Amino acid sequence: MNSEEKMDELFQVIAKRHSYRGEFKNEPVDPEHLKKIVQAGIDAPSGCNAQTTRFVIVTEPKLLAEISNYFENRAVCKTAKAMIVCVTDSTPAYGNVSFAREDCAAAVENILLAISALGYATVWYQGYVQKDQTAEKIAELLNVPNNLHVEVVLPIGVPITQEPPRPKKSFAERAFFNRYGAK
């Protein structure tokens, strides 16, 4: 396999990845796969290499059920066989600036690609987690220290249905050569 073919594998995973909000099959997520998925998050870059994101890999059915409760038992949460809870440390990395949000998002993107490549599916819950003290409730449930923050929850499983990716704007609407608005 030459390097152009290798490239295509990456681009296929990137293009194929999309959010999944349906039910999951009653099949487990391989624990070795969970480790590889989280390692992809660990391998992501971070501002000043501060590595501010931590990951709690939830597989205990009782904990999964409690977290699902905080999401009003949405199908994708209620049937998830695992969840990755991303925890951030917003201690400044550079002057008084924290890149914790960027660090977490870059790690989540790697994790989404890994999940998709391994045949699982997920959806990126962040805004929802920051409402109604959900982040604080999950932090308490998972013994997350007070100086850290529960930022993102990713429910994982084997998808039942093939949901199509949501429509995206075209290249020409979002990318320009040399000057904004130019073709």
Q: What is the phi/psi pair of residue 176, to 5°?
A: -140, 155
Q: How many CB atoms lie within 10 A of CB 97?
A: 10
Three-state secondary structure call for residue 148: coil
The piece of 17-25, 73-81, 155-163 that touches its own copies (CB under 8 A) is 17-25
* Torsion angle (degrees, nearest 10) of CA 108, 110, 26, 9: 150
For residue 66, the minimal CB distance to its own copies (Å) is 11
- Using CB under 8 A, which residues numbered 80 to 119 contact its own copies? 87, 93-95, 97, 99, 101-106, 108-110, 112-114, 117-119
Considering the rule CB under 8 A, would residue 164 count as an interface residue with its own copies? no
- Cβ neighbours of residue 96 under 8 Å, at least 6 residues apart? none
Name the minimum Å distance from CB 15 to its own copies: 5
Segment interacting with its own copies (CB under 8 A) among 22-30, 70-78, 142-150, 155-163: 142-150
Q: Closest separation between CB of residue 146 and its own copies, Å?
A: 11
- Least distance from its own copies to the Cβ atom of residue 126, Å: 7
Site string for its own copies, 52-81 (x = CB under 8 A): -xxxxxxxx--x------------------
Q: What are the b/e assignments for 99-123, b being 16+ CB within 10 Å?
A: bbebbbbbbbbbbbbbbbbbebbbb
